Amino acid sequence: MTPKNFDTSRRSVVGGLATGLVAAVGSPAFAQQAAAPGAAGAAATASPLRNPATEYPRPPFAKQEQEWPGLAGRMDPRPDHGETSYKGSGRLAGRRALLTGGDSGIGRAAAIAFAREGADVAFNYLPAEEPDAREVVELIRAEGRKAVPLPGDIRDEAFCGRLVADAVRELGGLDILVNNAAKQHTVPRLADLTTEQFDQTFKTNVYAMFWITKAALPHLAAGASIINTSSVNAYDPSETLLDYAATKAAIMNFTKGLAKQLAKDGIRVNAVAPGPFWTPLQPSGGQPPEKLVEFGGDTPIGRPGQPAELAPVYVLLASQEASYVTGQVYGAVGGRGGP
Ligand code: NAD
Ligand code: MG
- Domain spans in the chain, listed from the N-terminal domain onward: 93-332
Residue 49's pLDDT is 93
Residue 302's pLDDT is 97
Task: Determine whether the shortest distance from the Cβ of 121 to ligand 1 is under 6 A.
Answer: no
Q: Indicate the DSSP class of residue 277.
A: B
Task: Determine whether the shortest distance from the Cβ of 155 to ligand 1 is under 6 A.
Answer: yes
Q: Whose CA is nearest to atom 39 of ligand 1?
A: 277
| Position 170, amino acid | E
User: How many angstroms does the Cα of residue 16 sit away from the middle of ligand 1?
Assistant: 38
Catalytic-residue membership of 56: no
Q: Which of 279, 292, 336 to mutate to test the pocket of ligand 1 (most atoms within 8 A of CB)?
A: 279
Beta-carbon contacts of 55 under 8 Å, excluding residues fewer than 6 positions away, are none
Residue 337's pLDDT is 76
pLDDT in tens, 163-221: 999 999 999 999 999 999 999 999 999 999 999 999 999 999 999 999 999 999 999 99
Neighbours of 138 (CB within 10 A): 10
Q: Judge whether residue 134 has pLDDT over 60.
A: yes
Ligand in nearest proximity to the CA of 81: 1
Task: Determine whether the shortest distance from the Cβ of 130 to ligand 1 is under 6 A.
Answer: no
Q: Which atom of ligand 1 is nearest to the CA of 281?
A: 2
CA atoms of 286 and 219, how far apart (whole Å): 34
Task: Determine whether the shortest distance from the Cβ of 103 to ligand 1 is under 6 A.
Answer: yes
User: Which pTM value belongs to this model?
Assistant: 0.89
Q: Indicate the DSSP class of residue 234.
A: G
Ranking 41-50, 145-154, 221-230 by mean pLDDT, the lowest is 41-50
Q: Judge whether residue 14 has pLDDT over 70.
A: no
SS3 label, residue 176: strand
Across the beta sheet with 329-332, the strand order is 147-151, 120-125, 96-100, 176-179, 225-229, 268-274, 329-332
φ, ψ (nearest 5 deg) of residue 122:
-105, 140
| Position 67, amino acid | E
Q: What topology is assigned to 93-332 in CATH?
A: Rossmann fold (3.40.50)
User: How many angstroms does the Cα of residue 101 sit away from the middle of ligand 1?
Assistant: 6
CA atoms of 45 and 234, how far apart (whole Å): 40
Task: Determine whether the shortest distance from the Cβ of 204 to ligand 1 is under 6 A.
Answer: yes
pLDDT in tens, 298-328: 999 999 999 999 999 999 999 999 999 999 9
Q: Which atom of ligand 1 is nearest to the CA of 106?
A: 26
